[in-house]
Copies of this chain bind each other. A is one copy, B any other.
Amino acid sequence: MAFHYPNGRRFVPQAMEEKKSPLKKISYSNRGKTLEDDLNETNQYYLAHGIAVIHKKPTPIQIVDVHYPKRSAAVIKEAYFKQASTTDYNGVYKGKYIDFEAKETKNSSSFPLKNFHDHQIEHMKHIIQHDGIAFVIIRFSAMDDIYLMSSEQLSFYWKRMKEGGRKSITLQEVESSSRKITLGFQPRIDYIKVVDSLISENF
């Protein structure tokens, strides 16, 4: 279910709001906010409050052609999106290496595994081998329900698919094998709280 604040408007920190165009400024709900937007705000909150330093990596691009006009900035004239070989987010929390991927689905009964790639599953396995903390944050956008699933659990479902099993994780499976993240005021998606409980249980 969607989560609404008293006046129906979600809080946006001043600094962030100013960066946006005046048109976007008058949005009064969370509709259209992507998981990425919410995570970026959360990470800014963590950084500003000295909780963690976690950033989204830039989108990997294959640059083919760049023009260098006189007296102005270089312009990329031809480039293509590349598939990421790692996950999108990483950083440090209490000295520990944190690494995760975030994906959302419009599907309301299961989470399609096609949202991930072999490279990413492989990458997360490497992180675990080196005592880092790796997980995925998945969002069912229809209900605005967000879960944190450990990379070990995701690997289990990935392997099942590779062995001919189902190509998605059912909502029931997600519920039983990951932690739901309660949506908050600020930070919006307080995933570090869940990471904390994972650390105290497993490390």
User: Interface residues, chain A, CB within 8 Å of chain B?
Assistant: 47, 50, 52-53, 55, 57-61, 63, 73-82, 85-86, 90-99, 123, 126-127, 129-132
Contact = CB atoms under 8 A, between A and B. Distances in A.
Given A75-B78, A81-B76, A97-B97, A57 B59 contact: no
A130 B76 contact: no
B81 A92 contact: no
A129 B94 CA distance: 9
Nearest to A47: B126
Given A76-B81, A80-B76, A81-B76, A94 B58 contact: no
A52 B130 contact: yes
8 contacts: A53-B127, A61-B79, A74-B81, A76-B81, A90-B90, A94-B130, A94-B131, A97-B97
Contacts of A59: 58, 61, 63
Contact of A132 (B57, B73, B92): B92
A162 to B, nearest CB: 22
A62 to B, nearest CB: 9
Contacts of A130: 52-53, 92-95
A52 B131 CA distance: 10
Given A74-B80, A75-B78, A130-B53, A95 B97 contact: yes
A97 B73 CA distance: 34
A30 to B, nearest CB: 24
A47 B63 CA distance: 25
A21 to B, nearest CB: 15
